[in-house]
Amino acid sequence: MTETIKDSVKAFIIENFLFGDTSYELADTASLIENDIIDSTGVLELVAFIEDRFGIAMADADIVPANLDSLARISAFIAAKSAVPVSA
Amino acid sequence: MCGFGGYFGSVPDGKALLQKMTAAIAHRGPDEQGVFTAPQAGLGHVRLSIVGLGDGQQPMSDATGELTIAFNGEIFNYVELRDELRAKGRRFRTSSDTEVILHLYDEMGEDCVSRLNGDFAFALWDNRRRRMLLARDRMGVRPLFYAMRAGTLYFASEVKALLQVPGLSAEIDPIALDQTFTLWAPIAPRTPFKDIFELEPASLMIADERGATARTYWNLEFPDRDAPSRHANEGQAVEELRALLTDATRIRMRADVPVGSYLSGGLDSSIVSALAAGMAPQGLRTFSVTFDSAEHDESAFQNEMAATLGTDHKAVACQAGDIAKVFPEVIRYAERPVLRTAPAPLYQLSGLVRDCGLKVVLTGEGADEVFAGYDIFKEARVRRFCGRQPGSRMRPHLFRKLYPYLPGLKQQSAEYLAAFFGAGNDPLDDPLFSHRPRLKGTAATKMFFSGDLRARLADYDAADELISRLPDAFGRWHPLHQAQYLESRFLLPGYILSSQGDRMAMAHGVEGRFPFLDHRLVEFAAGLPPEMKLNGLVEKHILREATKDLLPASIGKRTKQPYRAPDSHSFSGRGELDYVRTAMGEEAIAAGGLFNAKAVTKLYEKCRARPASGFRDNAAFVGILSTQLWLQTFTGTSVRTAEAA
C-alpha cells in the first residue's frame, strides 16, 4: 500500500513539478523546497492532489514541511491519514 | 531623445552603412535623420525633436568642425551649463542641449560628463585627437551597444542597428541566457547577443589608434555602516529631499514640446505628477494602464489622483489577449528575453501617449531603488529577524504581511513560510543575502534548459559572477544598502530602465524622464540612514514625509503595490495565438536547441489548463516564449547558439 502511495506521489511530482524529467534522481528523503522542486503555489497543488487522489481532507495544521517536504514524508503522512478510521 | 549609430575604423562605404543603421532604429527618431563621415569615423542620427526644435539637427559639429557629436537623451541642466560657458566667452549657435556638450567637451575633455545632469548616451568624434568618445549616463537610462569587427568599433543605440554591419550576426550567448534565467537580465557589458556588448552605466569608452578602453566615471556609493550619518536630523533631511525632488522635476519639465506624466496610482508617480502639475500652468496630461483583473488594476487610485490634480487623464485598457498580441513586438524592441510580461502594457501605454500627440513623459521609476520601496528590502529584513530565532513559529507570519497580493503565500503555515524564504538557513554574511530567495526561485526555471545548453554552461554560476562584480566597500555597507546596490546597479539598468523603460517608450518615439534618478537625489538618498528609508516595515518613509502635503491620504499611505501584469495566463484562452503554439511547440523548441522540448510541452499544457500557476512556472513560460521569439526575430530560422565562454 505504502509503495503504491509512494509511486503515485512520485509520478505526480515528476509529471507536475519536474515536467516529465524521469532522469532527475528524486531521493525519497530529498527536500522538495531546498531542491527547488516546489514553490508556494506548488504546495497548494500538492495538497489538492493528495485530497483528490487519496480522499484525505487536509487541515491547515497538516500543511507543514514535516508532513510534505519529501517523498518519504508525504507517503508516510498519507499512509497514516488513510489508516485512521473515520469516526461516526 | 533620439537614436544613433556609428563607427571608428575603416569602413568601405560608411555613408551607406550609416543610413542602414539609422533606418533600423527610425522609431527612436521619427522627426529627422542625418549622417556625418570623416576618414576613419562615421556618425548617423535619427532625431526626436524636443529641445531646440529648429536648430538642433544632428550629428552636430562645433564651429571649428573638429568636434562632432551624435547624442541620444537630454541634458537637463543645459541652461545653467550654457550660462556658465557663455560667461567664459563661448558663443552658441543653437538653442539645443547638444551644443552644450560640444562646448563642455572642448573645455574639459571627457571629464565633461561629470558636469552633465541628464539621461544620455552619445558618441563624440574628436578630429584633432583622432578619437571617438562614447559615454553613457550614470544610472543607465539611455542605451549604448558596441561591437568590434575586423579592427573597427561599431556602436549604436540599439542592437538592431549593429546587425546591419556586414559580418555581424545574431547568436545567443548562453551565459547571458543563464544570467537572465537567474538575475532577470544579463550582467553588462554582456548582452544576449554573442560578441555584442553594452557600455555600462556611468562609463566612458575612448577609442583611438591604440584601441578602445572603457572606464567608469561615477559610482553608486553608500556610507560605511558604522560611520556617523551626515543626516542625523530627519526634519532637515525631509526639507532637503523635498527641495532636491522639486528641482529634479523642474529641470525635467524643460522641453520645447508639452511634457506629460505616467500615473500608476502608486506613491511615486503620484508624487511626480503632483509636482509636475504645479509647474504646468497650461495643465498636465497624465496616462495610465488599466487591467481587467482586479489583482492588477489600480484605476481607482489613478482616477482619484487625476481628479485631485485636475489633470487631463487618459488610460489604455490592457485586456485579455492584448499582451499576447503585442508580445512579439515587445521582444523585437526589447532585444532580450524577459521573464515577465510587464513590458507589454508599458508598450501599449507609450502608444497611447504618442497617439495623444505627446513625446515626453515623466515617470516615478527609480523611487523604489533609491528610497527602498521594493518588497525584497522588507523581506530581507524579516529574514534577518527570523534568523535570530530560527525555530520561531510567530516570526515567519510577517512574510504573509509582505505579500498580501500573493494568494499562494497567504494560505501557508509558518513553517512553510520560513522554508520558502530560507529564514534561519541562509548565512547572514552572504553578500547576496537579500536576493537569495529570488535568485533561487528564478534559477529554478533553468530546469527547462536542454541537456546541450547545460553541458555548454557546465558549472557556470551567475550569482557567483554577480558577487565578483561587487565593489570592495560593499561588505562595509548596511544590509539595506547592499540590497539597494544590487537593485540599482544591476536590475534597474538591465531590466527596469531597459526592457520596461527606454525600449518600450522609444518603440513609439516617446521619451521617459525620471526625476527620482537625478544623480543629486540618488547620492543624497544613498547617504541617508537606512531607517529613514525603510522604517520598520514601512517603505519609503522619508519620501512619504517629504511629500505628504501633495497627496490624498489614501495614496500617501498606500503600501507598495508592485507593478505586475498577467503572465502565462495572457497566452491561454482568448489570448492564445498561433505564434505561441508554434514557438512553444516541439519542433521550434528542438530547432532552438536551448530547452527540453518534452518538458516545455508539459509546461505549456499545465499553464493552459491551470492559469494560476506559481512564480517558477510563470517565469519559465514567459522566459522560454520570449527566448524563442528572440531567436526567431534576430536569428531567423537558422538557429545557432554560440559556445559558452
Number of CB pairs < 8 Å for A and B? Answer: 70
Closest chain A residue to the Cα of B596, Cα to Cα: A21
Q: Calculate how close chain B gets to A20, using CA atoms only, in Å.
A: 6
According to CATH, the superfamily of the domain at B2-216 is: Aminohydrolase, N-terminal nucleophile (Ntn) domain (3.60.20.10)
- Closest-CA residue of A relative to B602 is A19
pTM here is 0.93
Residues 40-69 of A with CB under 8 A from B: 40-44, 60-61, 63-66, 69
Q: Which CATH number does A2-83 carry?
A: 1.10.1200.10
The phi, psi pair for B621, rounded to 5°, reads -60, -50
Q: What whole-number distance in Å separates Cα of residue B266 and Cα of residue B545?
A: 15
CA distances from B316 to B264, B288, B298, B347 (A): 12, 6, 12, 11
> What CA–CA distance (Å, rounded) separates B591 from B172?
13
| A43 closest CB neighbour out of B412, B603, B616 | B412
CB-CB: which of A20, A39, A69 is closest to B615? Answer: A39
Give pLDDT, residue B574: 66
Residues of A in contact with B440 (CB under 8 A): 36
Quick: pLDDT tens for B561-596.
Answer: 788 888 888 898 765 689 999 999 999 999 999 999
Question: Using CB atoms, which residue from A19, A20, A41 is nearest to B614?
Answer: A41
pLDDT band at B280 (very low <50, low <70, confident <90, very high): very high
- Per residue in B616-638, pLDDT tens? 999 999 999 999 999 999 998 43
Intervals of CATH 3.40.50.620 along chain B: 234-370+498-556
- Split at pLDDT 50, 70, 90, the class of A87 is very low
pLDDT of B422 higher than 80: no
Q: What is the CATH number of domain B234-370+498-556?
A: 3.40.50.620
B315 touches chain A (CB under 8 A): no
Q: Where are the domains of chain A?
A: 2-83
Q: Which has the closest alpha carbon to B336: B482, B450, B221, B502?
A: B502
- pLDDT(B453) > 80: yes
Task: Give residue B638's pLDDT.
Answer: 36
Amino acid symbol at B621: F
If you compute the radius of gyration of chain B from its CA atoms, what whole number of angstroms results?
24
Q: Do B599 and A60 lie within an 8 Å CB cutoff?
A: no
Rounded to 10 degrees, the C-alpha dihedral B375/B376/B380/B386 comes to 50
Q: How much of chain B exceeds pLDDT 70, in percent?
A: 97
Interface test with A, best of B182, B447, B598 (most A CBs within 10 A): B447
pLDDT number for residue A84: 61
Beta pairing partners, B548: none
Summarize pLDDT for A1-53 with one digit per residue, the tens. 556 999 999 999 999 999 998 888 889 999 999 898 998 888 989 999 999 99
Residues B155 and B9: their CA atoms lie apart, in Å, by 12
Residues forming a β-bridge with B538: B535
Contacts of B455 in chain A (CB under 8 A): none
The pLDDT tens digits for B284-306 are: 999 999 998 888 899 999 999 99
Provide the pLDDT for residue B396.
87
Question: Is some CB atom of chain B closer than 8 A to the CB atom of A39?
Answer: yes
Q: Is the pLDDT of residue B641 over 60?
A: no
Per residue in B369-421, pLDDT (tens digit) is 999 999 999 999 999 998 888 888 888 888 888 887 777 777 788 888 888 88
Which residues of chain B lie closer than 8 angstroms to A42, CB-CB?
614, 616
Question: Whose grid coordinates read 500557476?
Answer: B613
Tell me, what's the pLDDT at A1? 52
Question: Measured between beta carbons, which residues in chain B are less than 8 angstroms from residue A21?
Answer: 447, 596, 599
Banded pLDDT at A86 (limits 50, 70, 90): very low
Lowest mean pLDDT among B325-339, B425-439, B561-575: B561-575
Cross-chain Cβ contact A39/B616 below 8 Å: yes
Residues A53-72: tens digit of each pLDDT: 999 999 988 999 999 999 99
Measured between beta carbons, the chain A residues lying within 8 angstroms of B406 are 40
Spatial distance between the Cα atoms of B190 and B199, rounded to a whole number of angstroms:
9
Q: Which residues of B490-516 are buried (b: 16+ CB within 10 A; e: fewer)?
A: bbbbbbbbbbbbbbbbbbbbbbbbbbb
B406 touches chain A (CB under 8 A): yes
B501 pLDDT above the threshold of 60: yes
Nearest CA-CA partner of B193 in B212, B177, B213? B177
Tell me if B555 sits within 8 A of B270, measured CB to CB. Answer: yes
- Stretch B309-332: mean pLDDT: 95
CATH 3.60.20.10 segments of chain B:
2-216
What is the tens place of the pLDDT at every residue in B526-544? 999 999 999 999 999 999 9
Residue of A nearest to B446 (CA): A36
Query: Smallest CA–CA separation between B246 and chain A, in Å?
Result: 42
Q: Tell me whether B444 touches chain A (CB under 8 Å).
A: yes
The answer on pLDDT for B642 being more than 60 is no
Q: Please state, rounded to an integer, the average pLDDT across all residues of chain B.
A: 93
